[in-house]
A and B are shown apart, each in its own frame.
Chain A
Amino acid sequence: MSGERIVDADVGVLGAGPGGMAAAKALAAAGLCVVVLDEGHRAGGQIFRQLPPGAPHAAIAEPPSHAHGHALIDGFGASKVELRSGASVWDAKPGRLWFEQDGASWLLRCKHIVLAPGAYDRCIPFPGWTLPGVLTAGALQVMVRGFGVVPGKRALVVGSGPLLLPTVTALASAGVEVVAALEASSRWRALRALPGVLGNGARLREALWYGRKLLTAGVKLQWGWTVFGVEGDGRVQRATIGKVDADGRPRRETARTIEVDVVGAGFGLVPSIEAGLLLGCASRLLPARGGHCLVVDAEQRTSVAGVYAVGEACGIGGAEVAMAEGELAAAAIVRLARGAPIAAGIARKAARERKAADALLRAFAPLPGLHELAQPETIVCRCEDVTLARAKAAAALHGGSHRAIKIGCRAGMGPCQARICGPSLQALACGRPELPMDLPVAQTPLKAVRSETILNAPEG
């Protein structure tokens, strides 16, 4: 009955963001049969979001680097790559990717897998963050740039790292008043990013572009500030903000309240490595790159034969890194399949982009003191409604590993599979902000799919 739902390809690519598109386009150009599985509705991933056809293309300000994204989307669209949008990959083995699309259960069989799943926003719980109207920084950008929907009238943007800038500019170009834009890192700490910016012409142009946009919008980034809490009757109405110390600890005496109707919180990104872990790929903890990352060699090969990883899954680095690594992975596969050597420039470019990204992002490694924003009654696991007090009690009783906390209070056992609470759960529950998170347990199904999808999964 479901036996027909099998697709065969030379290469299966997971994700149609910059890394996946770059890899797929290069592979198809070399004559390989490529199928790309992507959960979104259109190619581009989260960073190069496209409005639906026919939507008003009002002046959404875009930084210079997005021109590369548009060129890549066009080239990808014109290539022979088969893109399957709305495809949720829920199980994986080397050479096999099982996915659900339009409610049907599918299997992609391929010789090589390229993992380009991207990343998601790091969430740090604070009082009131479960109120409707508190969204991740990425969510607000998707709302404006992907759907042309205006998030609100008065916005607060909080967090840490370069992604606060596109969030502010997206809001401003949608006509939202950005009441405050708060970067938790101190100005001095952020100066450590300077060599990474100054040493790379494209990044410097990007930084200057954002500087001008913020000036035009009348938004001043406040360094060493963050949100202490959010309140409202059924949705966001007020936020308390204040200064933090060099480690991110709230200085409560500086608190003041502002009226806002939407809050965007972006405390950096977390690499999406679940599919890689399920495939058996080795990982390592790299805090400045966002947490646990897939380990790859100089040609993007993971520890599992036939499985490659590019972009954010190997550590947060941005679109330019992802595109360069995507091309490198493609070149490595083409060499295997066609015997064509890898052009020297491809590997050099990937290494150069990665080095520049590392130099920039080490200035924004997560601040441990921000875990003190949550209060005992603050919900830390949103799926299972577990408060900080319950998570702490579970850690005290069952032990401080990620697994013990999960078993003790169900935190991290809901459908998000700890993607939201996981990165901070251990630090929060154990009251030891310096604690790195245990390697998360990746399990089937990777995404909550219909039970029929699993029962009817094609074999092969």
Chain B
Amino acid sequence: MSASRLPGADARPVVAFSFEGQRVEARAGDTVAMALWAAGQPALRASSRDGAPRGVLCNMGICYECLVVVDGDTVRGCMQVVREGMDVRRGGKP
């Protein structure tokens, strides 16, 4: 995980959540999309037509390409800040 973060001491607490059943360690203040990117998981939803993987496009809440399901709610991965223990699944049709 450290290889995909800027170097230097990170004073933020670790926040752990689950993505498709796998444990992911993030840092407080991360969004779901950025935590998953840093964890090597750029594919966040499946396209509605052919199931092709989609990921973050705009990273500012405009495009809705990074939709994920957090504890049953469909949200934008780039706007949702990580919470300890949250259950994150890939999104489907936007």
- Residues of A participating in the B interface, judged by any CB pair closer than 8 Å: 39-41, 46, 52-58, 60, 86, 88, 120-121, 123, 130-136, 138-140, 142-144, 147-151, 174-175, 234-235, 382-385, 414-416, 419-420, 447-448
Contact = CB atoms under 8 A, between A and B. Distances in A.
Given A56-B9, A130-B47, A39 B58 contact: no
B8 A46 contact: no
A143 B60 contact: no
Contact of B58 (A139, A144, A414): A139
A383 B27 CA distance: 30
Interface string B20-41: 0000000111110010011000
Question: Quick one: which of A41, A143, A147, A447 has the most chain B CB within 10 A?
Answer: A147
Given A130-B52, A385-B48, A56 B62 contact: no
A385 B54 CA distance: 11
B54 A382 contact: yes
A382 B27 contact: no
Contacts of B7: 56, 58, 175
Contacts of A136: 57-59
A149 B37 contact: yes
Given A139-B58, A414-B94, A385 B47 contact: yes
A55 B27 CA distance: 9
Contacts of A139: 56-60
B52 A415 contact: no
B64 A383 contact: yes
B27 A143 contact: no
Contacts of A414: 64, 94
Question: Quick one: which of A54, A132, A144, A383 has the most chain B CB within 10 A?
Answer: A132
Given A147-B31, A150-B3, A132 B43 contact: yes
Contacts, number: 134
Contacts of A415: 64, 94
B63 A149 contact: no
11 contacts: A54-B29, A55-B12, A120-B60, A138-B59, A139-B57, A147-B34, A149-B38, A151-B37, A382-B47, A415-B94, A448-B64
A218 B8 CA distance: 24
Contact of A142 (B6, B11, B48, B59): B59
B63 A132 contact: no
Contact of A138 (B52, B60, B81): B60
Contact of A56 (B4, B10, B44): B10
A120 B64 contact: no
Contacts of A138: 58-60
A103 to B, nearest CB: 8
B49 A148 contact: no
A56 B6 CA distance: 7
B8 A419 contact: no
A415 B66 CA distance: 12
B11 A54 contact: yes
Interface in B39-94: 42-44, 47-50, 52-65, 79, 81, 94
